[in-house]
Amino acid sequence: MKDQQIQSSLARLMLAGTLLAAAIMAGGLLWYLAAHIGASPGDRVFSGEPKYFENPIAMVQRALDVREIGHRRSLIMIGVVLLLINPVVRVGVAAFGFSLQRDRLYAAVSLFVFVVLLLSFFW
pLDDT digits (tens, 9 = 90+) for 8-50: 888 898 899 999 999 988 988 888 788 777 777 666 777 777 6
> Per the domain annotation, does 46 fall within a domain?
no
Backbone angles phi, psi at 61, to 5 degrees: -60, -45
Residues 6+ apart with CB under 8 A from 61: 52
Mean per-residue pLDDT over the chain, rounded: 81
Query: Does residue 40 sit within a domain?
Result: no
Output the pTM of the full model: 0.70
**Residue 102, in any domain of the structure:** yes
Provide the domain limits for residue 74.
3-34+53-122
Q: Give me the pLDDT at residue 75, please.
A: 77
- Domain membership flag for residue 41: no
Residues 39-95: pLDDT tens digits?
776 667 777 776 766 666 777 777 777 776 555 667 788 888 888 889 898 899 889
Closest C-alpha among 93, 76, 95 to residue 16: 93
Q: Per the domain annotation, does 47 fall within a domain?
A: no
Total count of domains within the chain: 1
Give domain status of residue 24, yes or no. Answer: yes
Residue 48 lies in a domain: no
43 within some domain: no
